[in-house]
Amino acid sequence: MTIHAINSRNQIPGRIVEILLGPVVSEVDVETDAGIVTSIVTTRSIKNLNLQVGHEVLAVFKATEVLLAKT
């Protein structure tokens, strides 16, 4: 699965491991090689896309800021 219109550096393939449904927005946890990524998605979109635990997806990052902390 590849989305050609998005820079490949912003994509991380993964698998949905948990979906916490809310009345309007929901949390989707995606297991990637980099760890778990959590996405906030409208519940309507989850139902329209028929997203389910176990589905292979791409975590696509869109950001205008990236914060760094020294460890």
Tens digits of per-residue pLDDT, 36-48?
A: 989 999 999 999 9
Distance CA 30, CA 57 (A): 8
pLDDT for 11:
83
- The pTM of the full predicted model, rounded to 2 decimals, is 0.79
- The encoded tokens of residue 2 equal 């590849």
Domains with residue ranges and CATH for the chain: 9-60 (2.40.50.100)
Find out whether 17 and 35 touch, Cβ atoms under 8 Å: no
